[in-house]
């Protein structure tokens, strides 16, 4: 990464943007992709999705109309907690967005789009967007993973490759167009609350709720996940079942989802190992509440 700042020209389309993503080759070439809704209705017809793409090669925006999507209607709710929106993922040459119970995949080189039903999809996705539950897309070993929490626990699914379909089809008969995911792991809330009660003591007399723990990110080794608990961000090793605090923060009232966490990995060769270790020692205290108290609404 060059660490240079670039001001992009204004896009031509001024309609509602329901998704944005960045594709890059790891050096200097990149694309910025905006997904627009044509029309103002709450229900978005797939044919009415339009993309606007900025390329570093041309320095200009251009429009693209997905024409190979086969689902008739996807409902995009007007209201959603902005802090709980799923961060898009660039993996295997494609940008992935969560879109109302589906995974919208834009393949950069071929400029093709695909809609894949998510494992937690429901007929009425609009109510999902109002729940205080987080979802995250991440990559491990070249595979796209999708993690979310529900009433039972934290579920992680992996998007199947074509060779995976060849393996499963030898053992059972199924529709490979619908069978796109395999359950990778499941973490039970009861195990978390019983084994790590000290992490929940600060909740006081309030009864522990499933939405009190939310997945934020995963390490590349796919064993360590980062969870948000009211007042804490913790790392949890799914193999050893060990939980450790990464940082703490205070939040106004009961709104522990008052902020967004943007995970990233330090991979700068100019960082010496000793310096990085010193920076990461201990548990950081984030002054979130103090900063929010200075805002006037």
What tens digit of pLDDT does each residue of 171-201 get?
A: 555 555 667 898 888 888 777 765 666 655 5
Burial of 12 (0-12, 13-18, 19+ CB in 10 A): exposed
| Domain-terminating residue out of 68, 86, 117 | 117
Residues 24 and 107 occupy one common structural domain: yes
Residues 151 and 273 occupy one common structural domain: yes
* Whole-angstrom distance, CA of residue 288 vs CA of residue 261: 11
* Whole-angstrom distance, CA of residue 225 vs CA of residue 20: 25
pLDDT, one tens digit per residue, over 57-87 is 999 999 988 776 655 455 555 545 555 578 8
Residues 171 and 102 occupy one common structural domain: no
Residues 78 and 192 occupy one common structural domain: no
Residues 181 and 260 occupy one common structural domain: yes
Residues 89 and 135 occupy one common structural domain: no
What pLDDT score was predicted for residue 261? 62
Residues 142 and 112 occupy one common structural domain: no
Q: Of the ranges 152-156, 219-223, 267-271, which is most confident?
A: 152-156
| 3-state SS class at 104 | strand
State pTM to two decimals. 0.76
pLDDT-derived band at 297, boundaries 50, 70, 90: very low
What pLDDT score was predicted for residue 1? 54
Structural domain includes residue 288:
no
* Whole-angstrom distance, CA of residue 297 vs CA of residue 275: 40
Structural domain includes residue 8:
no
> What is the number of other CB atoms lying within 10 angstroms of the CB of residue 118?
22
Structural domain includes residue 258:
yes
- Number of domains forming the structure of the chain: 2
Instruction: Identify the domain containing residue 38 by its residue range.
Output: 13-117
| Sheet strands (E) in the chain | 17-24, 30-37, 43-45, 49-55, 60-64, 73-75, 89-91, 94-99, 102-107, 112-117, 135-140, 143-149, 153-159, 181-188, 214-218, 224-229, 232-237, 243-249, 284-286
| Domain-terminating residue out of 96, 117, 138 | 117
* Whole-angstrom distance, CA of residue 232 vs CA of residue 189: 16
Residues 35 and 152 occupy one common structural domain: no
What pLDDT score was predicted for residue 274? 46
* Whole-angstrom distance, CA of residue 98 vs CA of residue 85: 9
* Whole-angstrom distance, CA of residue 289 vs CA of residue 259: 10
Residues 145 and 76 occupy one common structural domain: no
* Whole-angstrom distance, CA of residue 116 vs CA of residue 159: 10
| Domain-terminating residue out of 92, 117, 142 | 117
Average the pLDDT over 3-17 and give the result.
80
Residues 35 and 143 occupy one common structural domain: no
Q: Of the ranges 120-129, 132-141, 253-262, 281-290, which is most confident?
A: 132-141
Structural domain includes residue 239:
yes
Residues 247 and 102 occupy one common structural domain: no
Structural domain includes residue 2:
no
What pLDDT score was predicted for residue 258? 53
């Amino acid at each position: 990464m060059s660490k240079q700042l670039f001001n992009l020209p204004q896009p031509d389309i001024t309609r509602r943007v329901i998704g944005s993503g960045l594709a890059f080759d790891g050096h200097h070439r990149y694309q910025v992709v905006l997904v627009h809704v044509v029309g103002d209705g709450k229900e978005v017809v797939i044919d009415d999705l339009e993309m606007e793409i900025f390329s570093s090669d041309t320095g200009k925006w251009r429009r693209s109309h997905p024409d190979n999507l086969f689902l008739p209607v996807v409902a995009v709710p007007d209201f959603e907690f902005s802090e709980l929106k799923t961060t898009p993922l660039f993996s295997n040459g494609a940008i992935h967005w969560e879109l109302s119970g589906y995974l919208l995949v834009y393949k950069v080189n071929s400029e093709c789009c695909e809609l894949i039903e998510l494992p937690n999809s429901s007929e009425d996705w609009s109510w999902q967007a109002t729940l205080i539950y987080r979802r995250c897309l991440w990559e491990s070993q070249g595979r796209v993973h999708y993690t979310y929490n529900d009433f039972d626990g934290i579920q992680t699914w992996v998007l199947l490759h074509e060779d995976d379909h060849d393996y499963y089809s030898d053992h059972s008969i199924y529709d490979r167009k619908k069978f796109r995911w395999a359950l990778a792991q499941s973490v039970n809330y009861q195990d978390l609350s019983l084994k790590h009660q000290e992490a929940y003591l600060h909740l006081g007399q309030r009864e522990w709720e499933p939405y009190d723990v939310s997945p934020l990110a995963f390490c590349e080794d796919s064993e360590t996940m980062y969870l948000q608990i009211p007042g804490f961000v913790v790392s949890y090793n799914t193999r050893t079942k060990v939980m450790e605090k990464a940082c703490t923060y205070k939040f106004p009232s009961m709104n522990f989802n008052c902020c967004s966490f943007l995970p990233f990995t330090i991979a700068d060769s100019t960082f010496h190992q000793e310096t990085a270790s010193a920076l990461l020692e201990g548990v950081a205290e984030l002054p979130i509440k103090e900063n929010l108290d200075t805002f006037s609404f």
